[in-house]
Amino acid sequence: MTLMQWFIFILIIQVIHGLGTWKLYIKAGRQAWEAFVPVYNGVVLMKIINRPWWWIILLFLPIVNLIMLMVVWVETARSFGKNTYLDTFLAIVTLGFYNYYLNYVANVDYVKDRSLQPKSGSGEWTSSILFAIVAATIVHTYFIQPFTIPSSSLEKSLLVGDFLFVSKFHYGARIPMTTVGAPMVHDTIPVLNKKSYLFNDRFEERKTSWINKLQLPYLRLPGFEKIDRNEIVVFNQPADTLKDMNNFTPDRNYYKPIDKKTNLVKRCVGIPGDSLEIRDGFIYINGKKNELPDRAHLQFSYYVQPKTNQFNPNFLKERYDITDRFGIVNQQNTYYFPAISNEALAKFKNHPNVTSITPIKAEKGKRDPNVFPHNPNYNWNIDFFGPIYIPEAGKTIDINLDVLPLYKRVITEYEGNTLQVKGNQILINGEVANSYTFKQNYYWMMGDNRHNSIDARRWGFVPFDHVLGKPVFIWMSWDGLKNPRWERFFTTVHGTGKATSYFIPFLVLLFGYIGFNKWRKRKKANS
C-alpha cells in the first residue's frame, strides 16, 4: 500500500476502535469523543490501563506492534475486571473485538489503580518474555543486528564463522516493509522451516494478492554517513528468488519483498557515479586501479601440479593460510585451488611438493552467460567485465537498445516503471524515451575471493533501498564447532593494520562491574 492508503487504513482502524470502546472510556471517567481521535485516543487509553504514554509509539512500529496490540487488548480487558484465562484468550483470538462485548453487552466496572503485578509465576514469566522480545526486536530492527558469515567471499577480512554486529544507524535504519511476520527472524522460522512472514511469493500474483497490500512503502531514517568505496556492507540480494538460500534449485522462483531477500555481505567496490571495469580480475574505477584497504586480501583460483605426495589441508591452512577446500580435477593428479591470496602464493610456490602453479583466468572477450547483463551482445566474464556506469540518483543517461540490457532491471524492477520495446523505440511508462533519470543510488558489491564469490558480476547493481547496514564489530569467531579464534573476539571490522582484540578489556570491565555490584549490595545490607 502507498502511504496515503496506509493513512486511510489507520483512520478506519481508529473508527473501529472508537466504536468498540467509547462506553469503556466513559466508565473510566473520560469523554466518549476521546475514543475516536487518532493517536490521542491511544494516549488516553494508556492512562486508562495505567501504562506509560510512550507505549503508543510501540503500536506504530511494524512487527513490534503485533505484540503490543495483543498486550493492549488484554490490558484493556483487565482494566475492567476481566482477568481470567478465558478473558485473555478471547481478547487475543478475536483480534481485540472482545472489547465490543465489554462495551455493549457485559456489565463491567472500571478498576482504577489496579495492580500491574502478574498474579501468578507463569504470568510474570509471560510478561517478561514478551517485553524482552519487544526490546530485542527494536534493537534488532533499528540499531544493531547480529549476523553470521556464511561463505568465504571476503576471506581474510571476514572469515566463515565470524559473528558480527551490523549497525543499522550508520546509513540510516530501514523501516520494515513487511508488516506481518515473526520477530527477530529473517525469511524462515528455525526448526519449523516455514516462511516467517505474510506475503504471496508467486510472481504473477505479487500485485493482486490482498496480503501483499499490507506491505509498507520504502522508508528510511536519516543516517550519519554515506557508503564509502571499499567499505564492507550488508545488503539484501537484489535478484533473490530462492525459498531457502541454501537450496539453489527450488521448485519455482519465489518473489520476495525487499526486506526478506537473502542477507549478504560484500565489499562495495563501486559507488554511485563511478565507471567500473574489471581487467584480468582487477577492478578499475574511473580508469584507475582500485586500491583495497590493507586488511583486504584478493584471492584467485589456481591449478597446482604436485610432484608426488598429496597436499594436507590442515598443513596448508596452518602454514600458508589456504582455507578454501581444494581437490584433484584430472587423472594427472592436478589440484584445483579455488582461492589463494598473493601472500600465500608467494610462500606456497616454494613448497617441496609443488611442480607448477597456473593461474585460472577467463579469456578476454569470451562471454560467460552467467555474468550480468546476461545478454549475447556483451562478451563479459568474471575476469574481464565492463566498463559500466553505476547509477547515481538524479543523474540522467542516454537510453538506446545497446545500453538497455544494463539498466532494464533498474528501470522496471527497482524503480517501478513499465518498459516496452517496439522496433527501435523504447517506451517507458507508455512514452517514447531517449534518456532516463535515476531515482536512487546504486552500488557494486563484490567479494575479495574473486573466483569463489557470487556477487554483482552475477546480478548487477545493488539499489540503496536494499542496503541493510554496516558491519562494525566481530564479537565472536569459531573455526568449526570446537575451535574458537580468540584473537578475533571483540575486534573491529574496518580500520587499518592488524585488528586489535578488546576481549580481555571487556572481561575485566564485566567482572569488575559484577564485583562492584556485589560489594555495593553487601555494604547496603550491612548498613
Angstrom distance (rounded) from CA 341 to CA 321: 9
Could you tell me which residue, 344 or 1, shows the higher pLDDT?
A: 344
Average pLDDT of 358-371?
Answer: 94
H or E element: which one contains 189?
strand 188-189
Residue 118 pLDDT exceeds 80: no
Confidence category of residue 119, pLDDT binned at 50, 70, 90: low
Can you give the pLDDT at residue 439? Answer: 97
CA angle 445, 447, 448 (to 5 degrees): 130
pLDDT in tens, 131-145: 888 999 999 999 999
Mean pLDDT, the chain, integer: 91
> Strands, DSSP E only, in 280-412?
282-285, 288-289, 299-306, 327-328, 335-341, 354-359, 385-389, 396-398
Sign of CA dihedral 30, 35, 40, 45: positive
Can you give the pLDDT at residue 284? Answer: 97
Q: How far is the CA of 48 from the CAs of 21, 88, 95, 109, 468, in angstroms?
A: 11, 18, 20, 12, 39
Can you give the pLDDT at residue 123? Answer: 61
Angstrom distance (rounded) from CA 97 to CA 248: 44
Please report, rounded to a whole number, the percentage of residues in the chain having pLDDT higher than 70: 98
What SS3 state is found at 4?
A: helix
Average pLDDT of 105-127?
Answer: 77
Can you give the pLDDT at residue 121? Answer: 60
Locus of grid cell 533501498: 465
pLDDT in tens, 230-285: 999 999 999 988 877 767 677 888 899 999 999 999 999 999 999 999 999 999 99
Question: Helices (H), strands (E): how many in the chain?
Answer: 12, 23
Average pLDDT of 49-72?
Answer: 92
Angstrom distance (rounded) from CA 482 to CA 420: 56
Q: Using alpha carbons, select from 457, 283, 302 the residue that is nearest to residue 381.
A: 457
Half-sphere CA count of 184, side-chain side, radius 13 A: 14
Query: How much is the pTM?
Result: 0.90
Angstrom distance (rounded) from CA 86 to CA 468: 42
Residue 58 pLDDT exceeds 70: yes
Residue 482 pLDDT exceeds 90: no
Can you give the pLDDT at residue 146? Answer: 93
The lowest-confidence range among 72-81, 106-115, 238-247, 323-332 is 238-247
